[in-house]
Amino acid sequence: MQPLKRVLGSLNSYRFITFGAFVSLLMLTATNAVTPQLFRWGIDQGIAQKDLQTVLYSGGLMVLIAIGRGLFNFGQSFWAEAVSQGVAYDLRNRIFTKIQNLSFSFHDQAQTSQLLTRITSDIEQIRTFVGTSLIQVVGAVVTLVTISVIVLIMNWKLALITLGMVPLAGLLMVRFLTTTQTLFSKIQEQLGDLNSVLQENLLGVRVVKAFVREPAERERYTRLNNDLVKANMQTISAIRNVFPYIFLLSNLITLAVVGYGGAQVIGKTFTIGELVAFNSYLLFILQPIFLIGFAAPVIAQAAASAQRVYEVVDAEIEIRDRPNAVPFEKCGGRITFENVHFRYPGATTEALKGISFETKPKELIAILGMTGSGKSTIMNLIPRFYDVTVGSVRIDGRDVRDLTLESLRSHIGIVFQETTLFSGTISDNIAYAKPDATLEEVIEVAKTAQMHDFISSLPEGYETLVGERGVGLSGGQKQRIAIARTLLTDYSILILDDSTSAVDAKTAAQIQDALDDLMRLHTCTAFVIAQRISTVRNADRILLIDKGLLVACGTHDELMRNSPLYGAILESQVKKPTVV
């Protein structure tokens, strides 16, 4: 219930609307409490005394009260809904901002589809709780107390007999709640699993088809879908099982009122009007119990949802500005790795085991090593996607952890191995980090990335729309857009991580030549994960990485002479110059 308390705490931002909803609720309860008294008055003073005027008065008042009831009912639910929309709005924004601030290590471990479920269905669950169930339960409790007091005053003996049933009903509800609570968390989890499979299949539809795994995937999905229906049916039967007992209780109460109350009317200690009023109050006693019964599963569900949402909201941001972090104004581009050890969160072995090197400003460094040797990991430490476990990474002599993240990253241009494009035009995507770039600037970087001719050949040129994952473009074309996007930023350090891997040999050669030209200008310090012999030859120095260790460092000629491993890796990894 702790997470629900936090949800309630968030109502504080909407205290005026909440107050309005609460006042409406009180007024609604008051109108409910008055109506049976009008009945009593109309019957005892009107009908029994044969006084038509009193009958009409009481009837007229009842109409007025009914109008009031409608108004207060509207106010109560309208304001409650308004508060719930506000709470959901805040939560959605908060979780989105949080997800953006969370470090790579969080996203390494989190499942996208689970996060999607949290932002959509879990927050909706919380919204329903705030907008509907909360006001229902509070209203039910207020009504229960008010009506109990009134019936106790009216006829305490009869009241005690009837109210004795309330704890029984309460007991039923508690039993119901405990059985359904676990079921509801299970359902939410299963929904997440189902979404995971759905998402995997949407993103990986080509792989599924290529390996003819449609039947297997369909079976996996159907099985989870079945489980979900089964769990849902279990809860539904749990809900349905409670109601017969409630109906039984309500009939027992009516029996008690008609029997015991009827005897009192015959004995003339209770009037017929009082009996009718009493009987209508009973409705107001049973209704709250029903309402709590209806609200209980939603509350249980909301509690489970709130717990999951707050898990993300509370997740620790591992990579963040230190309290005394300073902005990194001017970047010279001298990068120092000093005895850097790094272990990925949750991993048992170190990915980097004591790496030390220093670049000169504007040096072109090629990095060479087998797959999994730690090349990308080294690159990830410079913009602080992860923090070193031991040792330090410094730029111009300053530890990257002492700089503000935003300023640090603004000096670094990266082309990742995997390309992500956003929905929008090609020109939007190239200008992603610099939205105010002119078309000339966009065209210039597109030319460097060997993409201009292709883009110009499209009917809509730079205004061509690409999907969220750049649908309609080949892997190589997407990668070239990503290169152009990076070239447009104000980087002093450029990192190209396997950035021509998805490009055919001929295009790779063209891109690399263009990039080599660019880097020969020595406008920035550049790290290139080497794939071509020309890159290695062009590089001022080559770092040779093997199993997390820096095993050799030097120019191509030096390494050719001194390192047998270098020759072997060149042989196996690096594409020979293509004959164009």
Transcribe 289-300 into DSSP letters.
HHHHHHHHHHHH
Binding mask 478-507 for Mg ion (x = CB under 5 A): ------------------------------
Nearer to ligand ADP, 253 or 414 (CB): 414
CB of 378 to Mg ion, least distance (A): 10
Nearer to ligand ADP, 344 or 462 (CB): 344
Name the site residues for ligand ADP (rule: CB under 6 A): 108, 344, 347, 351, 369, 371-377
Nearer to Mg ion, 275 or 496 (CB): 496
Nearer to ligand ADP, 14 or 344 (CB): 344
Torsion of CA 37, 42, 45, 48, to 10 degrees: -120
Q: What is the spatial distance between Cα 339 and Cα 346, in angstroms, rounded to a whole number?
A: 21
Q: What is the spatial distance between Cα 579 and Cα 506, in angstroms, rounded to a whole number?
A: 8
Nearer to ligand ADP, 40 or 384 (CB): 384
Quick one: what does residue 114 bind among ligand ADP, Mg ion, none, with the CB cut-off 5 to 8 Å set by partner type? none
CB of 528 to ligand ADP, least distance (A): 13
**Contact 313/92 with Cβ under 8 angstroms?**
no
CB of 371 to Mg ion, least distance (A): 7
Rg (CA), the chain: 36
CB of 108 to ligand ADP, least distance (A): 4
Segment 367-386, which members bind Mg ion (CB under 5 A)? 376
CB of 22 to Mg ion, least distance (A): 58
Nearer to ligand ADP, 85 or 105 (CB): 105
- All residues at 6 or more sequence positions from 433 whose CB lies less than 8 Å from its CB, including other chains: 485, 486, 488, 489
Quick one: what does residue 371 bind among ligand ADP, Mg ion, none, with the CB cut-off 5 to 8 Å set by partner type? ligand ADP
Nearer to ligand ADP, 333 or 369 (CB): 369
Q: Tell the burial category of 201 from Cβ atoms under 10 Å away from its Cβ (0-12, 13-18, 19+).
A: middle
Quick one: what does residue 373 bind among ligand ADP, Mg ion, none, with the CB cut-off 5 to 8 Å set by partner type? ligand ADP
Query: Which residue lies nearest Mg ion, judged by its C-beta?
Result: 376
CB of 368 to ligand ADP, least distance (A): 10
Nearer to Mg ion, 376 or 538 (CB): 376
Quick one: what does residue 432 bind among ligand ADP, Mg ion, none, with the CB cut-off 5 to 8 Å set by partner type? none
Nearer to ligand ADP, 72 or 106 (CB): 106
CB of 369 to Mg ion, least distance (A): 9
Q: Tell the burial category of 61 from Cβ atoms under 10 Å away from its Cβ (0-12, 13-18, 19+).
A: middle
DSSP-derived pairing of the beta strands 390-395 and 398-399: antiparallel
The 3-state DSSP class for residue 577 equals: coil
CB of 514 to ligand ADP, least distance (A): 23
Nearer to ligand ADP, 488 or 569 (CB): 569
Amino acid making up residue 7: V
Quick one: what does residue 351 bind among ligand ADP, Mg ion, none, with the CB cut-off 5 to 8 Å set by partner type? ligand ADP
Tell me the three-class secondary structure of 313-358, residue by residue: HHCCCCCCCCCCCECCCCCCCCEEEEEEEECCCCCCCCCEEEEEEE
By CB under 5 A, the count of residues binding Mg ion is 1
Nearer to ligand ADP, 369 or 413 (CB): 369
CB of 566 to ligand ADP, least distance (A): 15
Q: What is the spatial distance between Cα 64 and Cα 152, in angstroms, rounded to a whole number?
A: 27
Q: What is the spatial distance between Cα 223 and Cα 218, in angstroms, rounded to a whole number?
A: 8
| Number of alpha carbons in the 13 Å side-chain half-sphere of residue 573 | 21
Nearer to Mg ion, 421 or 496 (CB): 496
Amino acid making up residue 550: L
Quick one: what does residue 344 bind among ligand ADP, Mg ion, none, with the CB cut-off 5 to 8 Å set by partner type? ligand ADP
CB of 406 to ligand ADP, least distance (A): 23
Quick one: what does residue 374 bind among ligand ADP, Mg ion, none, with the CB cut-off 5 to 8 Å set by partner type? ligand ADP
**Contact 302/125 with Cβ under 8 angstroms?**
yes
| Number of alpha carbons in the 13 Å side-chain half-sphere of residue 456 | 10
Segment 376-435, which members bind Mg ion (CB under 5 A)? 376
Q: Tell the burial category of 300 from Cβ atoms under 10 Å away from its Cβ (0-12, 13-18, 19+).
A: buried
Quick one: what does residue 372 bind among ligand ADP, Mg ion, none, with the CB cut-off 5 to 8 Å set by partner type? ligand ADP
Q: What is the spatial distance between Cα 554 and Cα 332, in angstroms, rounded to a whole number?
A: 22
CB of 549 to ligand ADP, least distance (A): 12
Nearer to Mg ion, 496 or 539 (CB): 496
Quick one: what does residue 259 bind among ligand ADP, Mg ion, none, with the CB cut-off 5 to 8 Å set by partner type? none
Neighbours of 111 (CB within 10 A): 15
Neighbours of 54 (CB within 10 A): 18
The 3-state DSSP class for residue 367 equals: strand
Neighbours of 436 (CB within 10 A): 6
Q: What is the spatial distance between Cα 169 and Cα 334, in angstroms, rounded to a whole number?
A: 74
CB of 498 to Mg ion, least distance (A): 6
Quick one: what does residue 12 bind among Mg ion, ligand ADP, none, with the CB cut-off 5 to 8 Å set by partner type? none
- All residues at 6 or more sequence positions from 291 whose CB lies less than 8 Å from its CB, including other chains: 136, 137, 139, 140
Quick one: what does residue 369 bind among Mg ion, ligand ADP, none, with the CB cut-off 5 to 8 Å set by partner type? ligand ADP
CB of 557 to ligand ADP, least distance (A): 24
Amino acid making up residue 450: Q
Residue found by looking up tokens 């927050």 in the block: 123
Residue found by looking up tokens 């891997």 in the block: 501
Quick one: what does residue 235 bind among Mg ion, ligand ADP, none, with the CB cut-off 5 to 8 Å set by partner type? none
Q: What is the spatial distance between Cα 479 and Cα 325, in angstroms, rounded to a whole number?
A: 34
Q: What is the spatial distance between Cα 5 and Cα 533, in angstroms, rounded to a whole number?
A: 63
Quick one: what does residue 517 bind among Mg ion, ligand ADP, none, with the CB cut-off 5 to 8 Å set by partner type? none
Binding footprint of Mg ion on the chain (CB under 5 A): 376
